[in-house]
Every structure is written in structure tokens, then in C-alpha cells.
A and B are shown apart, each in its own frame.
Chain A
Amino acid sequence: MDFQLLDKILSSVEKPARYMGGELNMTEKKDAELRFALAFPDVYEIGMSHLGSRILYNVLNMREDTICERVYAPWPDMEKALRENDMPLFTLETKRVLKECDVIGFSLLYEMCYTNILTMLDLSGIPFRAAERGDDMPLIVCGGPCACNPEPLAPFADAFLLGDGEELISEFADAVLAAKRQGLSKQELLVILSKIEGIYVPSFYEPVYDDNGLFIRMERANDAVPEKISRRVLKDLEHAPYLGKPIVPYMSIVHDRIALELFRGCTRGCRFCQAGFIYRPIRERKRETVMEQARALIGCTGYDEVSLFSLSSGDYSEIHELVPEIIDEFEKKRVSISFPSLRIDSFLKDDLEKMQSVRKAGLTFAPEAGTQRLRDVINKGVSEEDLLRSAKDAFESGWNSVKLYFMIGLPTETEEDLLGIADLARKVSELFYSMPKEKRGKGLRLAVSASSFVPKPFTPFQWEPQDYKETLIEKQKFLRAALKGIRGVEFAYHAPDISVLEAVFARGDRRLADVMERAYQSGARFDSWDEHYKPEAWSEAFETVGIDPSQYANRRRVPGEALPWGHIDMLVTEDYLKLELKRAHAAKTTKDCRKGCNGCFGEKYADYCKI
């Protein structure tokens, strides 16, 4: 590494702290037998906010034989500077170039980051396609929630790690190390990896399409590789390694606080929510364990905020004991507490008042749909009364900033459902202004946010079409008009282009890799950022490769047809998803399975769930 040049580059880019490393609690290792680059295809402040990869950083660095170093997608100004100076991308810890690592592991959190993977490989002089990489090249692996449909990235990756990573990453590291010691070839290593539960080696599988270009089945290279690759489940969260001494960034990041993971998984079964299905079953940590972790983490980081970080933290079985306990213990240290995902039906006024004594943050409610009918379709177990009661409690406790999250384009949605969104917003607003002035805060800030529905694999809606872009735009306009004049409302919505692209990649097959590579070559980067998103690069790429994006986004699949991710087993059975789809169309809800099992794992994995 030419440090003088690096210096010059860092002086010239925006936010050099993104690339500089050296933060508190960074690993002190300089080298080890196994070099693992933990790569995150988004900027530092987003990557550093991701709990999963921070856990893996700890797990890998706990091993004496391994050094795990971080690398993030360079912001376009840095990419430009690196290219102009002919400098490869490097890790934050030792400034090692990626080619000198044994493994590069990408975290897949969001489909719209995929092109950044190519940027990172490109800047490292590593060929994109696995087939073009020799034994001298690092092994490229991917993990994280989006890996549940690995196909659009399959040609680029040597392997995918599916499911909880705490144990799997270590087994993977063991296998890579053993192969390294024995001098095995990459091919030999891949065979070994394909036998580990939770590891998918895409080169051993070949998709088959019919004459119309429709995916019809996946063929295996040989019988030795499993027909279905099932994800890993960490059965004992209580004793699993957590964050250790986490890095404390200098620059502020998106999630700049201590995350306390109360449990993994979610029992509610909202039908659009992928996380609600692919992280099952629910596994809780004991309250004592959470408190112990809180103490240790505050002690070694000096953070002044902890957040209860789970899919729906309010469902934690000891939530009403935990919240006061945290407040009582840490108030004198002036540590405040926040919930990233508050369920409106699962917290009490008392808790609200206690939270307020520490710091008043905004409250977030996610009814997702505007009418009870549509909320039943999506199985969002939230009623208008619940919402209004919670909002009233919150207003009485002095809150005046509320966010309401909705989705538009949900299956079976009608105009009435859109009007329902405005109706709900109006009721919240009226509730606030009907309270006596001295009893409420000053002005109401009611943020109404409408994202566009994206059908995701392994949800009951995986067969559902997404609305056409034009329809989404119309619905946004309609909703904007309906919200007009409601006091305190600020309306925000997402660019529909990006939701469409997300839908294409979420349910994409292997041919999308060609589209992605092509779009990358025409400059597609950081596609989820409005200022970087290049619609022409994408439309041109789809055209050149000869792929019609609406076949992926807007086509209704028939339950039973072959799905590109059909060889991946996320444990919830397809039969269960089909049943849930049926119930959705009948606007029938399914109960929270804390109240009794709904049988989502079928027989095969029934014993995975201890509820």
C-alpha cells in the first residue's frame, strides 16, 4: 500500500472516516492464517449499522487462526479517486487489498446494493464471474437475508451461506482453513462446502428454461450435492456469541447506538414480510442476559443510547419488566432507550411515560394498510382502535411527533384502501388537535410514509404481481390529494422505479446477473440513492440482454409453478405459504403463533420450533 498516495486520496474525498478505520475496539490483529474480508456493498455508515455483520466480525475475530477485516462500498467520489490513482480497494483494518484475502464475504441486505458488489470486485481486480476466477483468487461468498434467493448473484459467487451465521461462519472458516492447509483446489473445497448444511454452491446447479424463457427447473451437476439446500438455524441464542467489544465509529452512522437483540424471529406472520418468515422460529434471550449485555456494551463503548432491536421488540415476553429495569439502571448514566420497531398494540402507557423521562424520540406506527379489510389480507393484526388509543396515550405523555408507515400496491388494494390511509391520518391529527392545548405538545408532526409493495420470496405473497410503475405513480398521486389539508401531515413516498427494480431482483433468476453486469458497465451504482440511480443504464441493460422486467415484477405466478429459488429451503413449507395466500385472498387472519402453533414448518422441521 502506497500510504502517501492513500493520504492524498483521503484528503480529497468526502467523509474520509469512511475508509480510514482505526476506531475504538477495532481488532488489533495484523494478520492470521485465514484472512476474511467482511464486505458490505453499501457505504460505511449503513454497513456499520448492520447488526448481523457486526456479530460475524466478533465471531471471526474471536478465532485465533482468523483475521476478519471490514470493507465497504466506496462512495462514487472515492471510487473515482481510486480509479484515477490506480489504487485498489482495501480493508479498513490493515489496508490490505482484497486480492490478498482468502475469503470475501458479502452481506446481502438489500437488492438495490447488488451493483456495488461489482464495484468492489472491479476495484480489486477480481473477475466478476466465479467461473473466471482461478485458484489464486479469493473465495467469494454471500450471506444475509437476500441470499434466500441467491440466483441473480449465482454466477458471481462461489458459495452462499444461508440462515443464521453464528455457527455456520465458523464451520465455513474451518473448512476453508483445512483446505488451505491441505493445499486443496478451489473445486475440491467447493465440494466439501456443498456438504455443509446451509451452504449453497451455485456452480453445482444449472437452471433450465422453456422456449418462452420461463424457468422450469433446476438441475444438479451430480447426486452428491443436495437437492434442497436448507438454511441454518441457531438453536441456542442465549449462549451464542454476540457483539463482544463492538467497534465505535468516529463518524455518525445510521444506527449509532447499542443494539440489544431481545429475540430472533417473529411470530406475527405479516404476509408481505420476508423477515417474518425466514428468521423463524422465535428464540428469546433471557432478561438477565440482555441486561448483562447492556452493561458490558455500555461499559466498553460509552454509547448513551441503547435500542431494543428485534423484529417486533414489543412482543418480548418480559418487555414490561425489561424496559423499566433498563431505565432504572442506566438513567443515572444518562443512557436512553429507543425502539426501532414499536408495535402499536404491545406497549403500555406506563412504559411510554418511563421512556419519556429519558428522552423523547419520535414514535413509529406501522399499520401498513388503510382499512381493516386490507390489514386482514396482509395479516397485520392492528386495529384502528389500537392505533388511536396508543396515539392518544402518546400525545397525553407529551409526544407530538408520530410516523405512520403504509404500503401501497398491496394485493387486492382498492381506492377505498387508499382513502383509508388518509382517513386514519385525519383521525390521528384530529385526535391531537381535539386535546386541550395545555395537555398536549405544541404542533403535531405527522409523517405519513407510503412505500411500494414488493413481493418477496418465502412469503405468502411470493406469487403475487407487483403493480405496474404507472399504477404506483397514480396511487401516490391519489393518496397525496387525499391527504391534502390534514393538519400536521407530511407525506413521503419512495421512487417507484426503484421498487420495481427491487421486485425484479427479489424474485429474479440467474439471467439477471447478465443484466446487472451490463447495467454496472453503463454506470449503475448505489441504485437505491435517487442521486445515483440511472434508469437508462437499467432499461438499456434489460433490452440488450433481452429480458422483460415486467415478467419478473408484474406477472402473477401460479402456485405450483417452478420458482427460481425453489431449491432453497427456508424451512417454512411451501404448503403453508400457499395456505396463507388463500387465507389472504379470503381476508382471513392467522393468529400470532405465540398463541398456538400454526404449523408453518410442516412435519420435517417441526422440532426446530419449541413454541
Chain B
Amino acid sequence: MRIIARFEKGEAVRFVSHLDIQRTFQRAFRRANIPLAYSQGFNPHPQLSFATALALGYTSEAEWFDVKLAEDMAPERFQEAVNAVLPTGFRILEAQAAEEKLPALTALMAASSHEVDFILPVSLSAESVISAFDAMAGGEIFVEKRTKGGMKTVDIRPMLLHYSFSQTADSLKLSVFGVSDAKGSLNIDLLLGALSDKIPGEFSYRVHKNTIYSLDGRVMPQKPVFAC
């Protein structure tokens, strides 16, 4: 059977790399005695795939994996059994049985939302960050992107679907909706790097991924319509 699950990557494990997460789940499945299905062939491996690779240092409540089991198992029981053995920082938040013919997760996803928490030096006001961002979003946003053929300059503005700032006395948060599909995703680090180039003084930030959306609401929540 096929199970699709959403999990959280918390504070304690935000520096765990994508490759290491795959291993973490494989080991957790073995500890929990989950009957994994293995691929045929010379070097059999479990059929486990992830929707996206989260950038190092981010936290998230929208990580998704897709796994095949050799025997049927109630998704709730799967969730419970795996959560009982996962290391601190990882937790499955929902698990659902999926039909075999459902496309892969990467084919389903369409957009994602992130929340950015700014840590500003005293010399930098929240207002100046907001207005710089507004100005930047008013035109093209060129960034240097590493591709197979070397560094390339690309405009990432079309990937930015919507954004909004929220501000309190001691915090500045940005929520960003961006394209995230099989062809590519809005890179938050590059976006903020471009912002940083337009601002005097250095800021740092923390990123949390909130949601991955699908186009039609299958498996993941449906992508909202943005008027921007």
C-alpha cells in the first residue's frame, strides 16, 4: 500500500540535511517494524520519496513523504508507530492512504508559503526593510543562481506570488507565497539575499515553512488565488 505523510522538522533538527532526513526515516521505519516494500533488482531499496528538500537551517511543518508498504497498515497506526521512535524534532503530523495511481508528490505540488522572522540590528528599522522589499518587488528581481552550466542570472520575481509583512514592537515577520512545483521553487535565501543587497547594514533571519499547496487540493491544501 502507499502512504503519504506530512511531518514537522523542528528547532532541534533544523541543521539536519535532506540526505540525513531520508536515512533518519528509514531507520525509524526499521525500529518501528514498518513493513516497507523494496524495489526489485540488484540493489533493492525502500520506495520512499520526499516532496521537497528543505534548505538547511529552516524549520517546517510542511514536509511530505510518500512511502510504499509491503503490507496494509492503517495510516493512523503508521503515524503512531513511527512517531513513537522518531528522534526529538521530527514528528508526523498527518498520514493518509494514497491510491497507487496518484501522481508523485512533486507532480502534485504547486506553491508553498514560508514565514520569515527578521532579526534586525538596531541601526535598521522595520519600515526601511518593508519599503526596500516593496520597491524590490515592484520590478524584476535578478539573482545569481547556480545551474548545471555554471552561475546564471535569473529574474525570480515571477516565482513570488504574494507577500505580506506583519510588525509588532519587537518583531518583523514576512510571509511569502511562492511557486513550488516540479520545475522549481522560489528560493527564500536568494530572495532575502537580493533584499540584503538593497539595504545598508546586515540582518539575519529565521525561516519556517508553513504549507505546501497543490493545484487542485488533492493530498495537500489547494493553492489560494492571489490577486497581486
How many whole Å from B50's CB to the nearest CB in chain A?
A: 15
- With A and B bound together, what is the CA distance between A251 and B24 in angstroms? 9
A-B contact count (CB 8 A): 58
- With A and B bound together, what is the CA distance between A300 and B85 in angstroms? 9
Chain A proximity mask over B48-73: 1 for CB below 8 Å, otherwise 0 = 00000000110000000000000000
Chain B positions within 8 Å of A24 at CB level: 24, 27, 87
Q: A22-B12, A251-B17 are in contact. Are A333 and B24 (CB under 8 A)?
A: no
- With A and B bound together, what is the CA distance between A301 and B30 in angstroms? 8
B119 near A301 (CB under 8 angstroms)?
no
A8 in the interface (beta carbon within 8 A): yes
- With A and B bound together, what is the CA distance between A17 and B16 in angstroms? 6
A4 in the interface (beta carbon within 8 A): yes
Chain B positions within 8 Å of A298 at CB level: 30
How many whole Å from B196's CB to the nearest CB in chain A?
A: 14
How many whole Å from A263's CB to the nearest CB in chain B?
A: 27
A302 near B16 (CB under 8 angstroms)?
no
A23 in the interface (beta carbon within 8 A): yes
Chain A proximity mask over B73-89: 1 for CB below 8 Å, otherwise 0 = 00000000000010111
- With A and B bound together, what is the CA distance between A10 and B17 in angstroms? 13
How many whole Å from A598's CB to the nearest CB in chain B?
A: 45
Chain A positions within 8 Å of B29 at CB level: 302
- With A and B bound together, what is the CA distance between A303 and B88 in angstroms? 18
How many whole Å from A441's CB to the nearest CB in chain B?
A: 12
B26 near A250 (CB under 8 angstroms)?
no
B15 near A17 (CB under 8 angstroms)?
yes
- With A and B bound together, what is the CA distance between A250 and B56 in angstroms? 13
Q: Which of B19, B31, B44, B119 is in CB contact (< 8 Å) with A302?
A: B31
A17 near B31 (CB under 8 angstroms)?
no
| Size bracket of the B interface | 20 to 34
A301 near B27 (CB under 8 angstroms)?
yes
Q: A302-B31, A303-B27 are in contact. Are A22 and B88 (CB under 8 A)?
A: yes
- With A and B bound together, what is the CA distance between A16 and B44 in angstroms? 31
B20 in the interface (beta carbon within 8 A): yes
A334 near B38 (CB under 8 angstroms)?
yes
B57 near A302 (CB under 8 angstroms)?
no
B13 near A302 (CB under 8 angstroms)?
no
A302 near B28 (CB under 8 angstroms)?
yes
Chain A proximity mask over B17-51: 1 for CB below 8 Å, otherwise 0 = 10110011011111100000010000010000000
- With A and B bound together, what is the CA distance between A303 and B28 in angstroms? 9
A17 near B20 (CB under 8 angstroms)?
yes
- With A and B bound together, what is the CA distance between A303 and B13 in angstroms? 19
How many whole Å from B187's CB to the nearest CB in chain A?
A: 16
Chain A positions within 8 Å of B147 at CB level: none
Q: A250-B13, A251-B20 are in contact. Are A23 and B26 (CB under 8 A)?
A: no
B204 in the interface (beta carbon within 8 A): yes
How many whole Å from B30's CB to the nearest CB in chain A?
A: 4
For window 248-306 of chain A, which residues contact chain B by CB distance below 8 Å?
248, 250-252, 298-304
- With A and B bound together, what is the CA distance between A584 and B15 in angstroms? 53
Chain A positions within 8 Å of B44 at CB level: 334
Chain B positions within 8 Å of A251 at CB level: 16-17, 20
Chain B positions within 8 Å of A182 at CB level: none
For window 12-33 of chain A, which residues contact chain B by CB distance below 8 Å?
16-17, 20, 22-24
B15 near A20 (CB under 8 angstroms)?
yes
B27 near A10 (CB under 8 angstroms)?
no
A11 in the interface (beta carbon within 8 A): yes
Q: A11-B57, A16-B56, A334-B38 are in contact. Are A300 and B31 (CB under 8 A)?
A: yes
B20 near A302 (CB under 8 angstroms)?
no
Chain A positions within 8 Å of B38 at CB level: 334
- With A and B bound together, what is the CA distance between A20 and B11 in angstroms? 11
How many whole Å from A17's CB to the nearest CB in chain B?
A: 6
Closest-by-CB residue of B relative to A304 is B30
Closest-by-CB residue of A relative to B12 is A22
- With A and B bound together, what is the CA distance between A302 and B28 in angstroms? 6
Closest-by-CB residue of A relative to B24 is A250
Chain A positions within 8 Å of B57 at CB level: 10-11, 16
Q: Which of B20, B23, B89, B119 is in CB contact (< 8 Å) with A22?
A: B89
Q: A4-B119, A17-B16, A248-B27 are in contact. Are A23 and B87 (CB under 8 A)?
A: yes
Looking at B15, B19, B29, which has the most chain A CB atoms within 10 Å of its CB? B15
Closest-by-CB residue of A relative to B30 is A302
For window 299-330 of chain A, which residues contact chain B by CB distance below 8 Å?
299-304
Closest-by-CB residue of B relative to A8 is B204
- With A and B bound together, what is the CA distance between A24 and B26 in angstroms? 13
- With A and B bound together, what is the CA distance between A8 and B31 in angstroms? 34
- With A and B bound together, what is the CA distance between A20 and B15 in angstroms? 8
How many whole Å from B24's CB to the nearest CB in chain A?
A: 6
- With A and B bound together, what is the CA distance between A252 and B21 in angstroms? 11
Closest-by-CB residue of A relative to B46 is A334
How many whole Å from A509's CB to the nearest CB in chain B?
A: 43
Q: Which of B13, B15, B20, B119 is in CB contact (< 8 Å) with A252?
A: B20
Chain A positions within 8 Å of B30 at CB level: 298, 302-304, 333
Chain B positions within 8 Å of A334 at CB level: 38, 44
Chain A positions within 8 Å of B27 at CB level: 24, 248, 301-304
How many whole Å from A305's CB to the nearest CB in chain B?
A: 11
Closest-by-CB residue of B relative to A299 is B31
How many whole Å from A257's CB to the nearest CB in chain B?
A: 11
- With A and B bound together, what is the CA distance between A511 and B65 in angstroms? 58
- With A and B bound together, what is the CA distance between A252 and B29 in angstroms? 18
How many whole Å from A7's CB to the nearest CB in chain B?
A: 8
A252 near B204 (CB under 8 angstroms)?
no
Closest-by-CB residue of A relative to B21 is A250
A302 near B87 (CB under 8 angstroms)?
no
Looking at B12, B23, B56, B204, which has the most chain A CB atoms within 10 Å of its CB? B23
Closest-by-CB residue of B relative to A359 is B43
How many whole Å from A6's CB to the nearest CB in chain B?
A: 11
B31 near A22 (CB under 8 angstroms)?
no
- With A and B bound together, what is the CA distance between A11 and B55 in angstroms? 11
Chain A positions within 8 Å of B85 at CB level: 302
Chain A positions within 8 Å of B56 at CB level: 11, 16
Chain A positions within 8 Å of B28 at CB level: 302
Chain B positions within 8 Å of A300 at CB level: 31
Closest-by-CB residue of A relative to B10 is A22
Chain B positions within 8 Å of A10 at CB level: 15, 57
Q: Which of B26, B87, B89 is in CB contact (< 8 Å) with A304?
A: B26
Q: A298-B30, A301-B31 are in contact. Are A250 and B204 (CB under 8 A)?
A: no
Chain A positions within 8 Å of B26 at CB level: 302, 304
- With A and B bound together, what is the CA distance between A304 and B85 in angstroms? 16
Chain B positions within 8 Å of A333 at CB level: 30
- With A and B bound together, what is the CA distance between A565 and B152 in angstroms? 61
- With A and B bound together, what is the CA distance between A304 and B43 in angstroms? 14
Listed A/B pairs (14) with beta-carbon separation below 8 Å: A10-B57, A16-B15, A17-B16, A17-B17, A22-B12, A23-B87, A248-B87, A250-B16, A251-B16, A251-B20, A302-B27, A302-B28, A303-B30, A304-B27
Q: Assuming A20-B15, A250-B24, A304-B27, what are 14 further A-B pairs, CB within 8 angstroms?
A: A4-B119, A10-B57, A17-B16, A22-B89, A248-B27, A250-B17, A252-B20, A252-B23, A301-B27, A302-B30, A303-B30, A304-B26, A333-B30, A334-B44
Residues of B within 8 A of A (CB): 12-13, 15-17, 19-20, 23-24, 26-31, 38, 44, 56-57, 85, 87-89, 119, 204
Which 6 interchain pairs have the tightest Cβ spacing? Answer: A302-B27, A302-B30, A16-B15, A302-B31, A24-B87, A250-B20
